[in-house]
Amino acid sequence: MPVEPPPETEAAAPAAPAPQPVEPPFRSPPKMPGHMPGMHGRPQIVPRAMAAKENFVEGDYVVYPTHGVGKVERIATEEIAGHKLDLIHITFEENRMTLRVPVSKARTAGLRKLATRKLFDEALALLKGRARIKRTMWSRRAQEYEQKINSGDPMQIAEVVRDLHRNAGQPDQSFSERQIYEAAMDRLAAELAALDLTDKATAAAKLADYLKSIQRGANSEPETIEDDEGAETVE
């Protein structure tokens, strides 16, 4: 008997492709020091104040916003990537660092000469005032303090010292408060030392004695002020 061929079977349907992993949505990086929170908590970079136009010469003591007091070692024309640039060489002895700033960019970079004695005395006078503490999270206040320090402006740096200084009988500073306070004191001491033609240790001791001599009365408690966004939490 003839053998019948096996019945044809339908081809199996191709397997459904495996689900592809879905990439998580992009998230902005965490806020870094120097950023200021803006509307809806978004970090905003506040532009650095532009220094007045000044002429620098070899031997000048200068202030660079993010590094503090340095000394102009020389001003020379150098060729970089085929372009000739007039560069200010600034040395920072404490950090053993040399910074080169184009003369054409010095003003926008915030490079300035030392504060006048009158301006520095005005900064010291701020230390006699009452501390002004914003009603906001400490992390945001810390960012504002760091931005003030990195502005290179002695008035703003003095505000940080004033707000974080503690008198006898007041609660001790937290670790992070102490770090920021010491950084602000270091910047003031460095500029005072250059003005007084002395060393930074002597200037720091002079500042410490000045703070101790300030007599604050019954109204010495910090003044609490509202945050720009109306936050009400104080850490």
Q: Has this prediction a pTM greater than 0.95?
A: no
CATH class of 61-113: mainly beta
Nearest to 34 by CA among 156, 149, 133: 149
CA 73/CA 91 separation, integer angstroms: 6
The domain spans of the chain are: 61-113, 117-226
Closest by CA to 55, choosing from 68, 72, 69, 42, is 72
Digit-by-digit pLDDT tens for the chain (235 residues) are: 454 555 554 444 555 555 554 444 444 444 444 444 443 444 443 445 556 678 999 999 999 999 999 999 999 999 988 889 999 999 998 888 999 999 999 999 999 999 999 999 999 999 998 888 888 899 999 999 999 999 999 999 999 999 999 876 678 889 999 999 999 999 999 999 999 999 999 999 999 999 988 865 444 566 666 655 443 333 3
Q: Is the CB of residue 12 less than 8 Å from the CB of residue 71?
A: no
Q: Which CATH class is domain 117-226?
A: mainly alpha
